[in-house]
Amino acid sequence: MNILVTGGTGYIGSHTAVELTNAGHTVILLDSLINSSEEVVSRIQQITGKRLSFHRIDLRDYTATNQLFIANSFDAVIHFAGLKAVGESVRKPLDYYENNLISTLSLLRAMDNNGVTKLVFSSSATVYGDPGVTQYTESLPVGQKISNPYGQTKYMIEQIIRNYSASRPEFEASILRYFNPIGAHPSGLIGEDPLGVPNNLMPFIAQVAAGKRSKLSIFGNDYPTPDGTCMRDYIHVVDLAHGHIAALNHLKPGVVTYNLGSGTPTSVLQLVTTFTTVTGKDIPYEFATRRPGDLPEFYADPTKAYKELGWKTEKTLEDMCRDTWNWQSKNPGGYI
């Protein structure tokens, strides 16, 4: 298939582009490069041995987006593009609502105008808010008690996709709710390259290991968990990429939602300990006060994805740590 990948030079988009290309698909990358580097394109080509078409376009620009659709015959779209930092979204809510919502509306209009009916959307477990349980199933209510604008935009986009689908019986969409993607491609050529201070735990751990940061702050050690630190469901980014291919291969008319996670919670201290064991790198850390809105524990119930898509995680926590360090040590300055 001829597949447009929006946000294609980002962390998850780039890994998915690799796996799609390796699976025999033709991939066209679109990205504004607001939070990524064009160097990613050459890295993907190096891994796959295939040339990829890249277009620097801001999806909010409908004219440019529509022209890209007119010039190409896309069979499907995988939509990653959007701002994604939870903390930043609290500080800059208007930026998140404008970027994430308008870009998606522009994309759907271009798809509609050009008869493209297949979509896989990158959503998030944040849409569940705080449902009062620790293991999340797709049947849980969404849109309630979401504590940040990032999660709200994901929830709103899910509703937009459902409303659009109701008006187009031929439309086929899969909404994938991620838990905590970490790791990197085993080659070490592509990985997570945060700008400034990392918003996520694993890149911060890797930067401490590399000596870029002096120590890790662990927010809270008095949660009702075995070691007092928060527990999350970590998933290797390559496993996540395979989940998108599985969803793409099982599209059918209507909208279907899947959790993509391992189904196994890991605490912050467990992740730190595993990273040290795998890499031999000591991670100095200190405990800090809890962050507002952090839940003690949440993780996926991935049963539906396994039953309907035949997908499950294959990579271990050790793989995630090993591949993260391989990326960090080979690329101390990221894609610079």
Q: Are 165 and 173 in contact (CB under 8 A)?
A: yes
Assign residue 256 a region: left if phi > 0, alpha if psi is -120 to 50, beta otherwise? beta
For position 271, what pLDDT does the model report?
Answer: 98
Specify the pLDDT at position 197: 80
Region 88-110 average pLDDT:
97
Mean pLDDT of 201-205: 96
Cβ pair 78, 25 in contact under 8 A: no
What number is the average pLDDT over the span 198-203?
90
Domains of the chain by range and CATH?
2-184+234-264+299-315 (3.40.50.720)
pLDDT digits (tens, 9 = 90+) for 128-164: 998 999 999 999 999 999 989 999 999 999 999 999 9
**Mean predicted lDDT score pLDDT of the chain:** 96
Is residue 325 scored above 90 in pLDDT? yes
Please state, as a whole number, how many other Cβ atoms lie within 10 Å of the Cβ of residue 284: 11
Q: What does the DSSP 8-state code read for residue 185?
A: -
> What is the tens place of the pLDDT at every residue in 276-293?
999 999 999 999 999 888
- pLDDT at residue 336 above 90? no
Give per-residue pLDDT as tens, 51-66.
Answer: 999 999 999 999 999 9
142 phi and psi angles, rounded to 5 deg: -125, 160
Coil vs helix vs strand at 30: strand
For the whole model, what pTM was predicted?
Answer: 0.96
Give the per-residue SS3 of 198-259: CCCHHHHHHHHHCCCCCCEEEECCCCCCCCCCCEEEEEEHHHHHHHHHHHHHCCCEEEEEEE
Task: Tell which phi-psi region holds residue 249, choosing left (phi > 0), alpha (psi between -120 and 50) or beta.
Answer: alpha
Active site residues: 150
Sign of the Cα pseudo-torsion (138, 140, 143, 146, in order):
negative
Residue matched to tokens 């080659």: 187
Instruction: Give the model's confidence band at 78: pLDDT under 50 very low, under 70 low, under 90 confident, else very high.
Output: very high
